[in-house]
Structure 1
Amino acid sequence: MSLDSAQLNAFAAVIDEGSFERAAAVLHVTRSAVSQRIKLLEERVGQVLVRRATPCTPTEAGQALYRHAREVALSEADALAAIGGGHRTTTRLAIGVNADSLATWFPQAMAQAAAGQAITFDIHVEDQDHSANLLREGRVMAAVTADPQPVQGCKVLPLGTLRYRALASPAFMRQYFATGVTATTLDTAPMLVFNRKDALQHRFVRRITRRKLAPPVHWLPEAHAFASATRAGLGWGMIPDPMVQADLQTGALVELLPGKPVDVPLYWQYWRLNVQALAYMTAAVQATAHTTLMLP
């Protein structure tokens, strides 16, 4: 069964942009034209492909087709680049990255890859314990993840370990942990948590106390603000070493329990596609990670 390229492009644009209106603007057509193309494509494959919500998301059948659409786009861009003759096609790479990597080492890898290829990035921020789901859904073609098990159709490369420490300001330590870091003090000291998927703080607490505690929680879903709030004494939290090396040297932040870090191994999972842009990005990610992370 052959698929109409205009219909496939319209479908991919709806998923990329999250709505029919924005897809129409990107494709320079009317919203009704996009809607008609999606309808014809769904009739062609005999299944609903798009959940009409805010944002629009692919159905289970749509996930497989979305990945196919992205693979076709990557292969076409690679072919045009190989032909040359004045052709300059920009390749967009959709990538899943955890917030702490994005706040530290990952932008350098992006810049290195883009320096060698005409690449633009569509970054999806997701917790490292959940970013592999973006690959399964076909939303991204590569991801930084804590999952070493390859998603179907993907390769996996170990990157190294991102080390987290339980940190607080000296004033916070005097206020809440003057008698020591115990189950009692951890249960009352305010804790910073990135979002509902962030389990690092609770992992540290369980390791220290062997108990499940319920301290007061501040939810703060931005990596640099998370570190700033810790410096300001709002609460304690797990912060990766690359973000706070200067703070540890000056004493602006101190460890709750020195020598008790939480190490998170990271992996690079990417589609098994022989395209230059993805190969450049993979090489850049490996090189940058090996200068920043603890090697496996």
Structure 2
Amino acid sequence: MPHPRPGATAPAPPAVLLPRRELAAGWTLMVLIAVLAWAVTVGQSRRMPVGSGTMGLAPPLFLALWVVMMAAMMLPSVAPVAITWVRAIGRHSAGPARVLRTTAFVSGYLLAWTAFGLLVYGVLAVTGRLVGGSPGVARWIGAGAFLLAGLQQFGPLKRVCLRHCRNPMFQLARYARYRRWAKDLRVGAHHGLYCVGCCWGLMIVLVPLGVMNLAAMAAVAVVIFLEKLWSRGPWLARAVGIAFLVLAVLAPFQEWLLPGLQDAPMGDMDPMGDMGGESS
């Protein structure tokens, strides 16, 4: 029977980086932010009927609403990664410093989606002009959007980025070697870029379905959550891809599938009172 060497000590149990109470508080905070973002989104959607183009919004106001939408749709699925990073932060920071670093991480994440929002705004501006000049082109724009989204669900970028979002621990270990300057902001932005790579196709379908279409936003948010956190997420991604390809075939013949490419009554639009910008 082997005997322990003199001076040897039993291995220490793994350290808990954050108390369970603080982890619960982190989850609660993420959920509250998402709920608040959904409340703002629902309130705004009532003032802005689903329609084509940029809905009369100037870029700054559109991006502000876009960030709120992304917080509502993405924060529940990114919460596990954010909490894991906060646990790592807890090894070196406490109190206000931890709060600031966590805020920097979330800000970096939303910054990546804000950059994507600029692209979406450009796409909406172009499609709005095309549909305004020739309403019949809407069916082909919708079919193209569904086709692009469907193909993306089967593409290598989706596979790589979804793998990262489902199993981020290796990348988080690499993040730990980042230099201190704006470290958490850069970590959040880098992870956000992976999420954009994973989910941009799901966001593109909001062009034909309507950027302010609450049912479509909720459905996309549920798909994103399940793709990242459900054990059968990759299979769901393929099933959703097949559904998009079917919609691409149906779109030219079923205009009701394209509420986001039809003109909304301008008299009903009141984006944040008098804060609306230029017309689309």
Q: TM-score, normalised by structure 2?
A: 0.21
Q: Which structure has the higher relative contact order (CA within 8 Å, separation 6+)? A: 2
User: Whose helix fraction is larger, Structure 1's or Structure 2's?
Assistant: 2
User: Whose strand fraction is larger, Structure 1's or Structure 2's?
Assistant: 1
